[in-house]
Structure 1
Amino acid sequence: MFITILVAAIIYTAVTLLAGACVGFGVGYLAARPAVAQLRDELADAAWQLAHDPLTGLYNRRGLRTAYAAFAATFPGQPVVAILLDLDGFKEINDDHGHDVGDEVLIEIAERLAHVATTYGGEMARHSGDEFAGIFPVREHGIRQIADALLAAVATSIDVQAATGPAAVALSASIGVAVVDSNDPLEDVALHRADIAMFHAKRGGRNQHVLYTPGMTMPPSEARRGLRLRDLHQQRGVTA
């Protein structure tokens, strides 16, 4: 991610210098400007796509890592609220109404979560499928206030156009919350702890948020809906 963006920046700079050179050699700035502007737009679009989810427009995992690294560089050693949010009942929406409606729901949920992130100075990302991740600075807002706002954003029903006609779908969310140091790794510490807390939220009945506490471990596998991809990877690593 960082190397690719650096390469894009180098190309961008080279294009700009080339435009200046064109003026120096008499090619003419007016003649070169449209081509330079087009290249700049294409590079900006490519950089955006590298960091964002194409469906929802939220950050993808790479984008969230970049945002987290920027926060850590700006506020070293400061507390960060890491959020992992999984939609309850999303599979049923896909099964009942189809994937097009499912995509429509994800887009609407993403817009709502982005609004919460803007309100509380954080960043949200589509982590995978119907799972979202976020990071928030610890400011005057309480951790519970942020989590409650995310729950409320998901809970409001969504009007969709299903094959059988207009329909209103309702969702809830299971949210794991972890407070970490900005110097802690994002995946291995911040989101890992939020993931553990999220599964406790699911095991406790869903439609709630759970705060990670020291010593908290992942619930037994039989308490979950089934093995997820991360569980299969872990099992393969143990047996390999």
Structure 2
Amino acid sequence: MIAIPVAVTLGTAAGYLATRRTVERLRAELADAAWQLTHDPLTGLLNRIGLRTAHNAVAAGPPCPLIVILLDLDRFKEVNDAHGHDAGDDLLMEVADRLGHLADAADGTAARLSGDEFAAILPLRHHRLDDVADQITTAIAAPVTIQAGNGPVTVTVTASVGMTITASTDRLEDGPLHRADTAMYQAKHHGGDRHLLYTPGMVMPEQGHRRGPRPRDLRRDRSGSVE
């Protein structure tokens, strides 16, 4: 008569443990899926969706001015062509680490948008724009050791940096990213390895001076909206 309740109790416990393991597994899978949705798999930085999410979180708080930064590496294609895509990936990961550390130190957020294009959102607070930009360009211009086909190789790249100031309540896609993008391409048009702050009236350089349309430019052209 005692064996029956014991068996029922053991069976219930086993069922509870199995259910808990299933729930924990599903939670882990959900967390992993959410991470992949919002992060760049190569560098671990936020991707475009993650950057929007981070900005929305800031926008939900007290209004404050933000620095929106877009940067593009100068001569990155030369590294890929000379040493291969794996070496290029090494370089991108190192740049991402440097930018991520700088953004963290400024209580901001960094992201890789596509290819060798990165972004950051920082609270303006007491930060001087020139100081922030100088820190970024200096950090990126420091030599990087990458693994090429014939062994370690030290390379140096620079960055073209565009910046704009915006209210935290402004939608990121409604102007700030485009303004920073315009300033960044003007910096690249003027030789690269420099930073520019967007000013009213600033426009994109002539198409011939750019490296060619990016996928998001083509999407923007088709939809008539600015990302």
Specify the TM-score bucket, using the shorter chain as the normaliser. Answer: 0.7 to 0.9
Residue 146 of structure 1: how far off its partner (Å): 1.5
| TM-score between both structures, scaled by the size of structure 1 | 0.83
**Separation in structure 2 between the aligned mates of residue 110 and residue 230 of structure 1, nearest angstrom:** 21
Superposition deviation, residue 134 in structure 1: 1.1
- Residues 231 and 37 of structure 1: is their aligned pair in 2 closer, same or farther, counting only changes over 3 Å? closer
Tell me what 1:168 maps to. 154
Whether 1:195 aligns to 2:181 is yes
Structure 1 residue 54 and structure 2 residue 41: aligned? yes
Unaligned runs of 5+ in 1: 1-22
How does 1:94-113 map onto structure 2 within 5 Å?
A: 94-113=80-99
Contiguous gaps of at least 5 residues in structure 2: 1-8
Q: Equivalent residue for 2:6?
A: none
Partner AA of 1:34 in structure 2: R
Q: What CA distance in whole angstroms lies between the structure 2 residues aligned with 1:158 and 1:132?
A: 17
Amino acid in the other structure paired with 1:49:
Q
* CA shift in 2, pair 1:131/1:38, >3 Å: same
One-letter amino acid of the counterpart of residue 142, structure 1: R
Report the residue type matching 2:80 in the other structure. N
Which secondary structure does the structure 2 equivalent of 1:59 belong to?
Answer: coil
1:176-215 correspondence to structure 2 within 5 Å = 176-215=162-201
Q: Rg bigger for which structure? A: 2
For residue 68 of structure 2, give the secondary structure of its aligned residue in structure 1: strand
2: CA distance, partners of 1:178 / 1:93 = 29
> Which residue in the other structure is 2:22 paired with?
35
**Structure 1 Cα separation of the partners of residues 172 and 220 of structure 2:** 19
Alpha-carbon distance in structure 1 between the residues aligned to 2:124 and 2:62: 11
The equivalent residue for 1:129 is 115
Deviates more, 1:97-106 or 1:212-221: 212-221
Shift of 1:113: 0.7
Shift of 1:222: 2.6
Counterpart among 70, 73, 80 of residue 87 in structure 1: 73
The residue identity in structure 1 corresponding to 2:158 is: S
User: Cα deviations across residues 145-194 of structure 1 (Å, max 9, x unaligned)?
Assistant: 22111111211111112112221011000000000111222123110000
Alpha-carbon distance between aligned partners in 1 of 2:150 and 2:44, rounded to the nearest angstrom: 28
C-alpha separation between the residues in 2 aligned to 1:154 and 1:62? 24
Question: How far has the Cα of 1:26 moved from its partner?
Answer: 4.4
- What displacement does 1:96 show? 0.3
